Each structure stands twice: as C-alpha cells, then as structure tokens.
Amino acid sequence: MNWQIPLSDLRLTQEDRDAVMAALESNWLTMGERTQNFERLFAEALDRADPPFCFAVGNCTLALHMALVALGVGPGDEVIVPSLTFVATANAALYCGATVVLADVTSPNDWTLSIADVTAKITPRTKAIIPVHYAGQPCDMVALLALAKSNGIAIVEDNAHGPLADGWIDANHTARALGTIGEIGCFSFFSNKNMTTGEGGMVVTRNKALAEKLRLLRAHGMTTLTMDRHKGHAFSYDVVELGFNYRIDEMRAAMGITQLARLPANNGKRAEVVGWYNPALAAVPGIVVPFAHRPAQGRQALHIMPVLLPAGVAREAVQIALRDAGIQTSIHYRPIHTFSYHSQSEMVRRDGLSVTDSLTPRILTLPLYPSMTRADVQLVADALQRALAGA
Ligand SMILES: Cc1ncc(COP(=O)(O)O)c(C=O)c1O
C-alpha cells in the first residue's frame, strides 16, 4: 500500500550504505572493530561522564533473555512485566522457565507500569521486574528502584522504545539514561525503531560482574574470541558458561554507528512532532492523549504516538477510514494476556489487569517519524476527527 502518511518512515542515507559496504569490503564480518566502536559510542551517548558496559547483540529479544540468564532467573522464579507490551518482554522470562506475572498500567493517561499493582504482585519468588518505557516515556524509576531495593529484586529495563531518553532516579529529579538505571537495560534496533540496524540490539549494565557474564553469554561462554586469536593474542579457548550465539555482525554494527550519529537530532524532531500533535489532538472531541501533560525527565526519545479513542467507538472502522485517507495506523499493543498462547499457559499469571482491559479496545497508534511536518500532523488530526464522526 502506498501510504500518504505511513506509521513510521525508514530513511537510510548514503552514509549508512557506505558504512555497510565498507564493512563488507573489510573482509572481517563479525565481532571486529566496528562492533567495538559501536559499543563504545553507544555507551558514551548514554552517559559521557560514566559510560556503562555495552554489548551489541542480534536483537532486543536476545538482550532480554541473556539479561535474565545473567541474573540467574530460572524455574520457580517470578518475573513481573506489564501486559501492555510487545510479547518479547514476557517471552524472555518464559525462555528461562520462570513464571511471568503480568502487571497493570497506571491510568488512561499513563501507560507505564502501575507501581501499586507491581507492589501488590511482589512475592518472595519475585526475582526481577521488567519495566517497559512505553513509547519512550519513562516508568516511575524512583518508585521501582525503592521497591527493588527493599525486596532484593533486580530491574531489567526494556528500553526498546527510548534510546538516549532519560528518566529520574531520585526525588531531586536527577536524570540518568533509560536502560542504565536498573541492573541491566535492553535496546532494540529493529527497523521501525528510533535508530535501526535492520535487526539488532544492545544489552547494557553498570555492574562489572554482570558485564563479564553478559560478555560470555553472548558468545558461547568462550573465554577468547576469533579476533583475539586472529591478532595472535590467544591460541585456544575454554568454555566457562552455557552461553549462546547472540552476536551482531560488522555490517549491522557499521550501520549502528551512522544511525547513532543521527539519533539525537531525530529524537529532537520526534519530540517536535509530538509537540504539534498534542494541541491538534486536544481539539478532537473525546480523544485522550496519554502522557500529554507529563514533564520531560531530561532527554526525550519518543517512539510512537498512542491515543485513546472514545469508549464504545468501533476502532476498526476508524482504522479503515484513516486507511482510506492514506494514513497508516497500528495498535501498541494487544496485551499479552489476550494471546492464545499466553492466555492458556500455566506459566503466565494474568489477574488484576483492569486498567489494561479497559484501555485495550480503545488503543490506537498514529504515525510518528522525524520527517513529519506540522501539515502532516494536522492532516492526521483532521482525518481522525472525520473518522470518529463517521464511526
Ligand atoms: C517493548 C519492546 N520490547 C522488545 C522488543 C523486541 O525487540 P527486537 O525486535 O529487537 O527483538 C520490541 C520490539 O519490537 C519492543 O517494542
């Protein structure tokens, strides 16, 4: 379909293409200098003063899995995740044989984890909480850090949506990059994300022991890598962990570097577009725009533009009317507890999700990408208003 206004817009540049070609022409295709540089630059972009340990991986799903493995999550443990997220957040815990405890979101205006519900769902078996910074909006990390500390629980941030956004870590509003606040942070560079490598991800920690574990888990638990042996630094290796092959390759790392260079400017443009959307949508009767009145917690990296339709509206009719006007929409997300697999799994606890359930039929995601113009935004808002009048 040839959308007039697509949901997201992938703009690759000649720099991206040149970087990938140069990686190919270097004749060194995996775990080389480009991956090392990408990790260093990403760490510095997150926190120049105190760069965390960063490991580039094949995608964010792998990052989430290895994060939980590194923390020792296994059968008998419980991991709390929001139901309103992409399915990978919960699956990471299921891969480990742990029980997933689905938690509610806060309110129609705040679709991040409900602290009250997380508090109620903590048990002696809770080993980790995975807050999702939905749409790039920070979860209440001050409250989560306090809960985690008093209960001895680890936090793994799913920051697929908010690369280079900040969140507050204390009551004084000290800002830190999302993904560097909990024990481990996970990022996605999937093709619709704020920066992309096609498939790709990053796993991040400030903890040296966890970093060592993650380094081993990414590459079969091997003590030396092909590069070490190529450079003559080592001649053999031992295997000291049950590791995986969760590596990225040099072509993607090369593209990660060029994409990362443009990320701050693109994040800025996204924030500008959301700044146009908020008043335009406030004029559409019955529409709730979550997070519209939230202060920024430092740098912003807004990923998607969710809205809540008026209760009782036939959402599909609205989506069809918008499609006919050339506007692509989506739904982020169908909650995990409604999927065939997860609604039947004994490993998924799904009680007390009333806010999520009440929002679910009303959720709609509108287009958001850095090159959107104010006129595009107005066109979407006007088309939405017309669609609602006809729905
Ligand atoms: C919130 C969230 N978590 C995890 C993922 C998984 O990311 P990936 O596709 O890189 O495995 C995604 C993305 O698609 C996501 O949106």
Quick one: average pLDDT of 288-306? 97
2 domain residue, yes or no = no
Residue nearest to atom 9 of ligand 1 (CA): 190
314-334 pLDDT, tens digit per residue, is 999 999 999 999 999 999 999
Q: Is the peptide bond before 333 cis (omega within 30 degrees of 0)?
A: yes
Ligand 1 mean position to 179 CA, how many Å?
Answer: 14
Helix (H) or strand (E) holding 348: strand 348-349
Quick one: average pLDDT of 19-30? 97
179-204 pLDDT, tens digit per residue, is 999 999 999 999 999 999 999 999 99
Q: Evaluate: CB of 319 within 6 angstroms of ligand 1.
A: no
In DSSP terms, which residues pair with 166 in a beta bridge? 177
373 domain residue, yes or no = yes
Which is catalytic among the residues 121, 193, 208, 213?
Answer: 193
Q: Strands 154-158 and 166-168, how do they pair?
A: unpaired
Contact at 8 Å (CB) between 19 and 257? Answer: yes
8 domain residue, yes or no = no
Evaluate if residue 374 carries a pLDDT over 90.
yes
Evaluate if residue 391 carries a pLDDT over 80.
no
Quick one: average pLDDT of 368-373? 98
225-238 pLDDT, tens digit per residue, is 888 888 888 889 99
How confident is residue 375, by pLDDT bands cut at 50, 70 and 90?
A: very high
DSSP 360: G
3 domain residue, yes or no = no
In DSSP terms, which residues pair with 54 in a beta bridge? 204
Residues of the domain holding 194: 14-390
132-150 pLDDT, tens digit per residue, is 999 999 999 999 999 999 9
Q: Evaluate: CB of 85 within 6 angstroms of ligand 1.
A: yes
Beta-carbon contacts of 97 under 8 Å, excluding residues fewer than 6 positions away, are: 74, 75, 347
Q: Where are the alpha helices (DSSP H) in the chain?
A: 14-26, 33-46, 60-70, 87-95, 115-121, 141-151, 208-218, 226-230, 250-282, 315-324, 340-344, 354-359, 374-390
Considering the chain, what is the average pLDDT of its residues?
Answer: 97
User: Residue 274: which CATH number?
Assistant: 3.40.640.10
330 domain residue, yes or no = yes
Residue nearest to atom 7 of ligand 1 (CA): 60
Q: Which of 190, 302, 303 to mutate for ligand 1's pocket (most ligand atoms within 8 Å of CB)?
A: 190
pLDDT of amino acid 79:
99
User: Is residue 213 among the annotated active site residues?
Assistant: no
126 domain residue, yes or no = yes
156-169 pLDDT, tens digit per residue, is 999 999 999 999 99
Ligand 1 mean position to 367 CA, how many Å?
Answer: 18
- Report the share of the chain in percent with pLDDT over 70: 100
Residue nearest to atom 8 of ligand 1 (CA): 60
pLDDT of amino acid 233:
87
Q: Evaluate: CB of 309 within 6 angstroms of ligand 1.
A: no
What one-letter code names the amino acid at 191? Answer: S
333-351 pLDDT, tens digit per residue, is 999 999 999 999 999 999 9
Contact at 8 Å (CB) between 68 and 128? Answer: yes
Query: What span, in angstroms and rounded, lies between the C-alpha atoms of 382 and 375?
Result: 10
How confident is residue 85, by pLDDT bands cut at 50, 70 and 90?
A: very high
Q: Evaluate: CB of 188 within 6 angstroms of ligand 1.
A: yes
pTM equals 0.98
Domains identified in the chain, total number: 1
- Report the share of the chain in percent with pLDDT over 90: 96
Q: Evaluate: CB of 160 within 6 angstroms of ligand 1.
A: yes
C-alpha count within 13 angstroms, C-beta hemisphere, residue 166? 16
pLDDT of amino acid 1:
83
pLDDT of amino acid 230:
85
42-76 pLDDT, tens digit per residue, is 999 999 999 999 999 999 999 999 999 999 999 99
Q: What are phi and psi for residue 251, nearest 5 degrees?
A: -65, -45
Is 176 in a helix, a strand, or coil? strand
5 domain residue, yes or no = no
Beta-carbon contacts of 217 under 8 Å, excluding residues fewer than 6 positions away, are: 66, 69, 70, 241, 243, 244, 246
Between residues 231 and 301, the one the model is more confident about? 301
Is 254 in a helix, a strand, or coil? helix
Query: What span, in angstroms and rounded, lies between the C-alpha atoms of 89 and 342?
Result: 12
89 domain residue, yes or no = yes
How confident is residue 264, by pLDDT bands cut at 50, 70 and 90?
A: very high
Evaluate if residue 80 carries a pLDDT over 90.
yes
Contact at 8 Å (CB) between 108 and 135? Answer: no
